Copies of this chain bind each other. A is one copy, B any other.
Amino acid sequence: MEISDVAKQSGIPASTLRYYEERGLIRSTGRRGLRRLFDTDVLERLGLISLGRAAGFKLDEIAAMMSPDGPRIERAALIAKADELDKKIRQMTIMRDGLHHAAKCRAPSHMECPTFRRILRAAMKGNPGGMIARKG
């Protein structure tokens, strides 16, 4: 399939696909003239990439995880990543609930809403002087 087909089916712009190829995240299987040709399984790969992106991984990290020989990521690193992710998930869950609350709350400002402040305090639990995840 041509790049435009991949773009259409994946929803990812051709420019991004070219960029991903340059970064070694995907490979084109050949050319017709100038035009790249892709195997259909690139779609699965793109799904994985998008998933990784959504989880907050950098393209380099994703590339490493997907490499066939793989720099053999150590178990510990994977677990660490998973834990990091889990922390983020909890924060996002709190935020999601906070938003839901805000949607039906009549307080003049969310900072003045006791429920919101309770949510906030919950969020800060176990972060005494570490605050929420930075860098990552």
A50 and B131 in contact, given A68-B109, A99-B79 (Cβ under 8 angstroms) = yes
This chain's copy number in the assembly: 2
A21-54 contacts to B (CB < 8 Å): 44-48, 50-54
Q: Which residues of B have CB within 8 Å of A12? A: 131, 134
Secondary structure of the A side of the interface?
A: helix
Number of interface residues of A (CB under 8 A): 60
Q: Which residues of B have CB within 8 Å of A124? A: 44, 47
Chain A positions within 8 Å of B, measured between CB atoms, are: 8-12, 44-48, 50-56, 65-70, 73, 75, 78-79, 81-82, 85-86, 88-89, 91-96, 98-100, 102-104, 108-111, 117, 120, 123-124, 127, 129-134
